[in-house]
Amino acid sequence: MTDPALPRGSAVPRETPLAARHRALGASFTDFGGWSMPVRYTSDLAEHHAVRTAAGLFDISHMAEFTVVGADAGAFLDHALAGRLSTLPVGKAKYSLLLAESGGIVDDLIVYRLGDEEFFVVANAGNRGPVSAALFERAEGFEVTVTDDTDAFALIAVQGPVARSVLGATHGLGEEERPLEELPYYAATRARFDGAPVLIARTGYTGEDGYELYVGNDRADDLWEALTAAGAPLGLVPAGLAARDTLRLEAGMPLYGHELSLDIVPAQAGLGRVVAVDKDDFVGKAALESVVATEAPVLVGLVSEGRRAGRAGYAVLGPDGEVVGEVTSGALSPTLGHPIALAFVAPALSAVGTELALDVRGTRIPATVSPLPFYRRTK
């Protein structure tokens, strides 16, 4: 195994390789997961609508990346994660969960299989430490090498209906092992940008089609500039975390620290399908088999009328005004034009169509349990 190169504790947020570019574009910044990240460039709404109608350009270099290589790579990930990764075809990706022994969620991840004995694991920025510790500890006894490569990569996302056209027009980007027009959703291909290696993944966190490009830190600024030049005539705009949050909320995608935590087991968050319960064993399996959670709150979508949205921490009220749950994420949906929220509520009140209410700063706002996702792209 390779020792993880974790950053030393510091009160100063880290910057991505594109920080100077964001400042030049007039971005506003926020501390997110220990990183100084662009929250917006111009307008949250404009950036959100650009992704839904054309494309947005995101810097998500704060994400954590780990390389797993070795004869036991697949077996190790089957043990370490809740999903079955050993059968994942080369070139494909899979959403999975890293569970604690208690069955709670340490993090949600995307795993790419890059070769017969090579996997690439992408975790959330704020969970780099716990994920790193878990992977290195769980690798004991397996013929596998785990490397924390977070500091080696920048990650740029192009999301939206014209994303493929943007990449196709980007000067210097090419030599894909698999043509982009043949790359299915949740798949990846190695490519080149001006001779430098790039991994292009057809994945995202917005509910739109799009791509995530992993490139060495030293080439990140040049790639951002090339994507911008290619995409500007097509409607591409830089987009920050504020738009990314409303986009993922409309798409019903969970955010760690809001819908996912060590106190939540997968079934509560609607992620039971991610767990390969038929595997012989994996970390957290015994706890999941022994948990009796019939009364544990479950995640639902809520829609309401008007303009006042429930926010994280707001109470969900039952028919008699009693507190029956709590909002984890909420916003006035830019695409749909009405408030939406994700919330944990009592199972007996989780059926689609159930009439509830939100306590929005002392005002009772009617809300209805809705199917997820709130928004689904049409093609």
**Straight-line distance from the first to the last Cα atom of the chain, in angstroms, rounded to the nearest whole number:** 43
| 299 φ/ψ angles, rounded to the nearest 5 degrees | -80, 130
What pLDDT, on a 0 to 100 scale, did the predictor assign at position 8?
Answer: 40
Same structural domain, 159 and 283:
yes
Q: Return the CATH number at 352.
A: 2.40.30.110
* Residue 198 · residue 222 · CB < 8 Å: no
Helix 241-250 with 44-53: angle, nearest 10 deg: 50
Same structural domain, 69 and 174:
yes
Same structural domain, 378 and 281:
no
Same structural domain, 282 and 298:
no
pLDDT digit string (tens) for 205-216? 999 999 999 999
What is the Cα gyration radius of the chain? 21
pLDDT digit string (tens) for 164-179? 999 999 999 999 999 9
List the domain range (segments joined by +) for residue 51. 1-292
User: Does residue 343 carry a pLDDT above 50?
Assistant: yes
- For the entire predicted model, the pTM comes to 0.94
The residue out of 292, 325, 358 marking a domain boundary is 292
Q: Return the CATH number at 65.
A: 3.30.1360.120
Same structural domain, 29 and 174:
yes
pLDDT digit string (tens) for 265-304? 999 999 999 999 999 999 999 999 887 666 899 999 999 9
Same structural domain, 156 and 143:
yes
Same structural domain, 112 and 177:
yes
Dihedral sign for Cα atoms in the order 359, 360, 364, 366: negative
* Residue 107 · residue 40 · CB < 8 Å: no
SS (H, E, C) the chain: CCCCCCCCCCCCCEECCCHHHHHHCCCEEEEECCEEEEEECCCHHHHHHHHHHCEEEEECCCCEEEEEECCCHHHHHHHHCCCCCCCCCCCEEEEEEEECCCCCEEEEEEEEEEECCEEEEEECHHHHHHHHHHHHHHCCCCCCEEEECHHHEEEEEEECCCHHHHHHHCCCEECCCCCHHHCCCCEEEEEEECCEEEEEECCCCCCCCEEEEEEEHHHHHHHHHHHHHHHHHHCEEECCHHHHHHHHHHCCCCCECCCECCCCCHHHHCCHHHCCCCCCCCCCHHHHHHCCCCCCCEEEEEECCCCCCCCCCCEEECCCCCEEEEEEEEEECCCCCCEEEEEEECHHHCCCCCEEEEEECCEEEEEEEECCCCCCCCC
pLDDT digit string (tens) for 120-160? 999 999 999 999 999 999 999 999 999 999 999 999 999 99
* Residue 234 · residue 166 · CB < 8 Å: yes
pLDDT digit string (tens) for 50-62? 999 999 999 999 9
- Per the prediction, the chain carries an average pLDDT of 95
What pLDDT, on a 0 to 100 scale, did the predictor assign at position 177?
Answer: 97
pLDDT digit string (tens) for 225-256? 999 999 999 999 999 999 999 999 999 999 99
Same structural domain, 51 and 152:
yes
Same structural domain, 96 and 189:
yes
- From 201, 258, 260, 209, select the one nearest 376 (Cα to Cα): 209
Instruction: Give residue 289's Cα distance to chain centre.
Output: 27
Q: How many domains does the chain have?
A: 2
User: Does residue 2 carry a pLDDT above 60?
Assistant: no
Same structural domain, 249 and 164:
yes
The residue out of 258, 292, 326 marking a domain boundary is 292
pLDDT digit string (tens) for 82-121? 999 999 999 999 999 999 999 999 999 999 999 999 999 9
Same structural domain, 2 and 96:
yes
Same structural domain, 285 and 333:
no
User: Does residue 322 carry a pLDDT above 70?
Assistant: yes
The residue out of 292, 308, 338 marking a domain boundary is 292
pLDDT interval class at 68 (50, 70, 90) = very high
